[in-house]
Structure 1
Amino acid sequence: MSETISPAFTFVKDGVFYFSRRIPKDLKKHYSSPRIAYSLRTRAARVAEARARRAADQLDEYWFHLRSKDADLPGKHMLRLQGDGRVVASSSPPEVSSASVKLSEAVGIYLRLKGQGRPDTFHRAVERSCGYVIDACGDKHLDAYTKADANKFRDALIKRGLAGSSITRIFGTVRAITNFAASELGLTLTNPFNGVYYDREAGVSDRNPIPADALSEVQRQCRQMDDDIRWLVALVSDTGMRLAEAAGIVREDIERRPDGSLVAQVRPHQWRRLKTKGSERIVPLEGEARWAAERLMAQAADTKFLFPRYNKKDQTNANAASAALNKWIKQMAPDGCTMHSFRHSMRDRLRAVECPADIVDQIGGWQTDGVGHGYGAGYPVEVLQKWMKAVT
């Protein structure tokens, strides 16, 4: 091949080959320029041809995904993320660095490798967190961010009125993305988003346990109203399960043991992941939780879900359940009590009967400190059942 003939999707400037490709009409709304163009950093036609073909193939693949589900694209150095996760055209000119990538490109790397099989909420949280950085400091290469940028980012989050716990979560996400992308690219990077000071307690409200009298009233009302929503409340109230764990449960997760007792298998499903690996567990169903499970299992088996109203799509809608149930609970419980308060109450109830802390952790799926706790299969169901009977 003659060095004077440019391979497909390239042109030569001052002896250096550049990649160049027009943006399809239906995708121009995503770009600030009608064409992607950047240096291939070579003067050799054969090298330029291979690099250009690889870039063109990537674009073809990602453009297909963009048309179908708005996936991340090559050439994302020309894009920026809004705070709500939407991608819009950037007003700044494209930059290319052989040593680093921009934050928006790091998001694409992170989601491509770490986002497989993760729910939409995971993807939105990643894009939203980095969108906040881009809104406050611009879409820079990872090694171009400074401590001043990190402090500016912090100030922007505080100005938004976010609580300290939310700021901590967002900073954690940004750190994870920058560290992961730097590791993948072999960059030596001092992460400026480490060690940023802010009041972690600002705006954080305590999650209160539900008092015993309010707990009794809620459970009494569940029996009286006797519908699927109240069965969900009753199930959570006497197990301490997270709401999403209970809402995404299916018939096969409820097991009747030879002695007639019932247990719930809390395990990950395609439609509902678990918060941590330690969240996978067996929970004895006693008290009102057993009553709710019996009522649920007696229903017509036209679906595998025990709570189909919160599993109509491919993901358990725990947010909808939380909004509806918290509103109902407010009528009987003090201010500050939510569905999650049952989880706090269960821990207090187990403490009150002097249940050993590691058994409490196993029942609730909490992390138990210490290397030794990672050995063995944990306490048998009969032991867990003894303590659950003591509090119900």
Structure 2
Amino acid sequence: MAENREAPHTFTKQGVYYFCRRVPKDLQQHYKSPKISYSLRTRSPSVASSRALRAAQKLDEFWYHLRLKDSDLPGKNLLRMAQNVNAAPTAWSPVEVSPDTVKLSEAVGIYLRLKGQGRGVTFQRTTERCCGYVIDVCGDKDITAYTKSDANAFRDDLLKRELAGSSITRIIATVRSVINFAASEIGVELSNPFGKVYYDRTAGVEGREPIPLGTIRSLQGECRKLDDERRWIVALVSDTGLRLAEAVGLLKDDLRLEDEVPHVVVREHPWRRLKTSGSSRKVPLVGASLWAAQRIKDSSPDSPFAFPSYTTLDRANANSASAALNKWMKPKVPKNTTMHSFRHSLRDRLRAVECPADIVDQIGGWATEGVGHSYGSGYPLDVLYRWLKAVE
């Protein structure tokens, strides 16, 4: 049967949607049939699309691990993990570890198997890369054998790379997490030498400035003139304050233009996780953001993604979008302002009309301090809409 265009990887039978995916030829030895097919138990195109995309993403992740198991891959960092990958269990089988201790490369395997489920390729690559730096400098040692001098040598190597303090912080935090997690899993107590490493955390870090309102209006005008996918992203972010990754990973179905209050639903997808649990929210669409949402809805009828140039079943490539959009914006905006500066600007714009702080936090997906703010379901859309209209 022909694949349904409204919901990729599906076909319909008597009005019911079915998931269908062919097994790649190099992996068919693992299956009894060359095709995976089953009912999605829905007649709704949008529900079927969401379920099918999630199933396809899980299959892609599992096939990725099967390929790692079946063959060695090129690339130094990947080859470091080969001994773990070849012994990798399936997603539903228990993880077997040594009762004594493990090397750092094995610790990475444990960490990814247990904490990497559903986290995407970026999470895996980042973990392997960060721990790969340690192996390059200090060797692939037993996790209990690393010393303070090893941690300091690792820090010095990162400083030689002229990385910003914030980047060094993220790398060391990843290494620390991998070692602590593996030690906990195998029941080993240790004093992690990567726990307290001194360096200037502010070195090379430039604060992001908000974009002036006049510049925002000018950018929005240019977006309407150019009227293409990249400019739709800029316009959508400009009056909603969405994080760029949140915007890039949207489905068209996340843009609810038919509702009484037009809004965008920010929710987690298999190809794009949210930064925090509080990032899941609904944001009213006004001004340039409403225009962008309307243009997105009218474009690319064959794709369920809002921005198909940057989003696939595997991931939402926010880094690529960021590079392209910041390059376009650079000559048009003040120094130290980027796409992320729209979030800073929206907060200032809402402050200027004396919008209550907890409403600002709900619109931007920021955490609001205090236990009481975790009760209830937040402000209704029409209240958020009134405040965003005030800054439109």
Q: Which SS does the other structure have where 2:303 is aligned?
A: coil
Q: Deviation string for 1:256-291 (max 9, x for gaps)?
A: 3553x3100000111221111111100110111011
Q: Which SS does the other structure have where 2:331 is aligned?
A: coil
RMSD: 2.3
1:265/1:283 contact within 8 Å kept: yes
C-alpha spacing 1:63/1:257, structure 2 compared with 1 (3 Å): closer
The normalised TM-score by structure 1 is 0.75
1:219/1:234 contact within 8 Å kept: yes
Structure-to-structure mapping, 1:149-298, within 5 angstroms: 149-256=150-257, 258-259=259-260, 261-298=261-298
Structure 1 residue 301, shift from structure 2 partner: 2.4
What amino acid does structure 1 have at the position aligned with 2:69?
L
1:115/1:122 contact within 8 Å kept: yes
Greater RCO structure (CA 8 Å; 6+ sep): 2
Q: Deviation string for 1:300-337 (max 9, x for gaps)?
A: 52211121111245211112211111111113111222
The normalised TM-score by structure 2 is 0.75
Task: State the alpha-carbon separation in 1 of the partners of residues 276 and 72 from structure 2.
Answer: 28
Which of 61, 69, 88 pairs up with 1:66?
Answer: 69
2:80/2:105 contact within 8 Å kept: no
2:250/2:306 contact within 8 Å kept: yes
Q: Which SS does the other structure have where 2:372 is aligned?
A: helix
C-alpha spacing 1:312/1:116, structure 2 compared with 1 (3 Å): closer
Q: Which residue of 2 aligns with 1:118?
A: 119
Q: Deviation string for 1:333-376 (max 9, x for gaps)?
A: 11222111111111111122221222111111112222222222
2:98/2:186 contact within 8 Å kept: no
Q: Which residue of 1 aligns with 2:335?
A: 335
Q: Which SS does the other structure have where 1:179 is aligned?
A: helix
Q: Which residue of 2 aligns with 1:324?
A: 324
Task: Give the number of aligned pairs.
Answer: 315
Q: Which residue of 1 aligns with 2:80?
A: 87
Structure 1 residue 251, shift from structure 2 partner: 1.8
Task: State the alpha-carbon separation in 2 of the partners of residues 252 and 328 from structure 1.
Answer: 28
2:166/2:202 contact within 8 Å kept: yes
Structure 1 residue 378, shift from structure 2 partner: 1.3
What amino acid does structure 2 have at the position aligned with 1:136?
V
2:104/2:179 contact within 8 Å kept: yes
What amino acid does structure 2 have at the position aligned with 1:186?
G
Task: State the alpha-carbon separation in 2 of the partners of residues 89 and 122 from structure 1.
Answer: 18
Q: Which has the greater radius of gyration?
A: 1
1:257/1:263 contact within 8 Å kept: no
What amino acid does structure 2 have at the position aligned with 1:263?
H
Structure 1 residue 295, shift from structure 2 partner: 1.7
What amino acid does structure 1 have at the position aligned with 2:233?
L
Q: Deviation string for 1:11-43 (max 9, x for gaps)?
A: xxxxxxxxxxxxxxxxxxxxxxxxxxxxxxxxx
C-alpha spacing 1:198/1:257, structure 2 compared with 1 (3 Å): same
Task: State the alpha-carbon separation in 2 of the partners of residues 121 and 237 from structure 1.
Answer: 26
C-alpha spacing 1:255/1:306, structure 2 compared with 1 (3 Å): same
Q: Which residue of 2 aligns with 1:129?
A: 130
C-alpha spacing 1:68/1:288, structure 2 compared with 1 (3 Å): farther
Q: Which residue of 2 aligns with 1:386?
A: 386
1:243/1:318 contact within 8 Å kept: yes
1:247/1:318 contact within 8 Å kept: yes
Q: Which residue of 2 aligns with 1:54?
A: none
2:349/2:391 contact within 8 Å kept: yes
2:99/2:186 contact within 8 Å kept: no
What amino acid does structure 2 have at the position aligned with 1:119?
G
What amino acid does structure 2 have at the position aligned with 1:309?
S
Q: Which residue of 1 aligns with 2:53?
A: none
Structure 1 residue 99, shift from structure 2 partner: 2.2
1:266/1:280 contact within 8 Å kept: yes
Structure 1 residue 97, shift from structure 2 partner: 7.8
1:129/1:173 contact within 8 Å kept: yes
1:150/1:193 contact within 8 Å kept: yes
Q: Deviation string for 1:63-99 (max 9, x for gaps)?
A: 864335859xxxxxxxxx95x5553899xxxxx9852
1:85/1:131 contact within 8 Å kept: no
Q: Which residue of 1 aligns with 2:32?
A: none
Task: State the alpha-carbon separation in 2 of the partners of residues 368 and 70 from structure 1.
Answer: 45
Q: Which SS does the other structure have where 2:171 is aligned?
A: helix
Task: State the alpha-carbon separation in 2 of the partners of residues 254 and 209 from structure 1.
Answer: 26
Is the aligned partner of 1:108 residue 2:101? no
Task: State the alpha-carbon separation in 2 of the partners of residues 63 and 386 from structure 1.
Answer: 51
Q: Which residue of 1 aligns with 2:34?
A: none
Q: Which runs of 5+ in 2 are unaligned?
A: 1-64, 84-96
Task: State the alpha-carbon separation in 2 of the partners of residues 192 and 318 from structure 1.
Answer: 34
Task: State the alpha-carbon separation in 2 of the partners of residues 262 and 389 from structure 1.
Answer: 12
